Amino acid sequence: MANYGVKVTIDNKDISSTEPRDYVFNSAYGSVKVAKEPANKTHETIDVSAGGTATATIAHGLSFVPLVMLFTELKPGSGHWYQGGINVADPTDISGAVTLDGTSDSLTYVDSTNVKITYSNPTGGALTVKYYYFIFGDNG
């Protein structure tokens, strides 16, 4: 194998170290890979009726529970995206925004088959919610 690549060590570790744990990143070793994201590479949408809920189910095709990053534009058209839904939202986005439904039978979750994202719309009008996700994993 050629002696080239990218290496970033943690503080006080030498770049010549042969210990994998001494590196933040080392291209000689495998890394987490994006297994799936929206096909159009921009975002997905889901319509949520006034006062209702809607659930997006994403079949990830992996045989294990993967790591998932979810981003949601809580207030349609705002251009403000939040990781995981209503995570530390800008107060100006809360009014007229969707929220993650907190009931125990409809929480957003990941299992060995699907990613399930449930949104609740407390407003008096229907909303189209934009969301984007990265599903990480490598079956190899």
| Three-state SS annotation for 21-46 | HHEEEECCCCCCCEEECCCCCCCEEE
Report the share of the chain in percent with pLDDT over 90.
27
Query: How many degrees, rounded to 5, is the angle at CA 15 between CA 13 and CA 17?
Result: 75
The pLDDT tens digits of the residues spanning 70-91 come to: 998 877 788 888 886 443 334 4
Domain boundaries along the sequence of the chain: 1-31, 34-136
Give the Cα separation of 66 and 115 in Å (integer): 9
Q: Which CATH class is domain 34-136?
A: mainly beta
Unique residue bearing structure tokens 């002696």: 3
pLDDT at 104 over 60: no
CA dihedral 82, 85, 89, 92 (to 10 degrees): 100
Q: Which of 91, 109, 90 is nearest to 100 (CA)?
A: 109
pLDDT at 14 over 90: yes
Stretch 5-9: mean pLDDT, rounded? Answer: 91
